[in-house]
Amino acid sequence: MSIYELPKIKIPKISFKKPSRFFWLLILTIFISSFFGFLGGGIFGTYFYSQLQDYLKNFNVQLPNQQLQKEGVVEKEYFLQESAVIKVVKKASPSVVSIIVTRDLPIFEEYFLEERLGPFKFRVPQYRQKGTEKREIGGGTGFIVSKDGLILTNKHVIAETSADYTVLTNDGKKFPAKVLARDPVQDIAILKIESKNSLPVIKLGDSDSLQEGQTVIAIGNVLGEFRNSVSVGVISGLGRTITATGGGFYETIEDVIQTDAAINKGNSGGPLLNLKGEVIGINTAMAVGAENVGFAIPINKAKKDIEQVKKLGKIVYPFLGIYYTLITPELKEKFNLPVDYGAWVGRDATGRKTQIAIFPGSAAEKAGLKRDDIILEFAGEKITLENSLAKIISKYNPGDKVVLKVLREGREKTITAILGERSE
């Protein structure tokens, strides 16, 4: 026998009997018992874990395993949000531009005149204009909303009518910019640069669906020096009313978004984005003396402006033609007014009479409105602090016929007006 050969072994034949019906019934019973045992154990285990954890808190003892699992979930959610922010910034940044404001300013040359006072001579400095030079006087941010070069920004960024504007894109290219329109009501303006339909366009979202606590991202030209700086925060409030001032600019803006995403000088006109990379607001102001209290104009207010500029070449608003204030509980009590809502014609916020109540030739004058009328409803909508006249009227167009419910000398009456047009 070779050492590499295995001896032949005779293997007996084995026959198997067919399992009985009782055997399969036993297997099925074991499976069902195991399944419900695991299910019940999971449910009751979680319940008793929670009860035990609550009991042990009385002795300052904490069970670790489930806490670690929760921390892992939180860490994973944080990682997903961080990844979403990075993705949005990369996608949106090419569409965000810096706006440089320049103007010709005089150059003065110093020279001296000699003057004598008794035995003494004095050199008195004098100045004369030698010429002019173009200097940078301001800046802000904007974002591209059409491939042919329409750029959305704030009106206060480009308020200087005698200035020149230059757009600097994210890749370092410079374009001379032309102001197409300034919104007569909102802090919104539209610029145009020449391009062959090759510019990266940012996507506009829906600002009517926003919720407090929602994560947002602000991008802008901080301090006119740090281009496309990024800050992240949440929506802190909706429907705010603010009075914005600065650089000779003064305007009350209604229905704005409040955010704690840092909005610094130079951020004005930049986009406020959601985690889908959509613009939901235009950064417009920050609260002086507070930390991380910024405001943005809802993007839905700008969509109409963009369409009007494309079709009409300008931004127009329906115009009623009155000076008014919204009635508050304080004004009602102070002046013993019959209602605590509505638009009080010819009065300011303190209740004092304005110099002009009705604009000459306006829709209000033609309709017969008078000083001290209280407009209760505009086209069937009740006028309140939350639903102001300006907010309601913005839904209409010049030439629309509307019905006003007016309280005059204690009696209600109906007045029909055909809205006029207001532009820059």
Active site residues: 156, 187, 268
Q: What is the 3-state secondary structure (H, E, C) of the chain?
A: CCCCCCCCCCCCCCCCCCCCHHHHHHHHHHHHHHHHHHHHHHHHHHHHHHHHHHHHHCCCCCCCHHHHHHHHHHHHHHHHHHHHHHHHHHHHHHHEEEEEEEEEEEEEEEEEEEEEECCEEEEEEEEEEEEEEEEEEEEEEEEECCCCCEEEECCHHHCCCCCEEEEECCCCCEEEEEEEEECCCCCCEEEECCCCCCCCCCEECCHHHCCCCCEEEEEEEECCCEEEEEEEEEEEEEEEEEEEEECCEEEEEEEEEEECCCCCCCCCCCEEECCCCEEEEEEEEECCCCCCCEEEEECHHHHHHHHHHHHHCCCEEEECCECEEECCHHHHHHHCCCCCCCEEECECCCCCECCCCECCCCHHHHHCCCCCCEEEEECCEECCCCCCHHHHHCCCCCCCEEEEEEEECCEEEEEEEECEEEEC
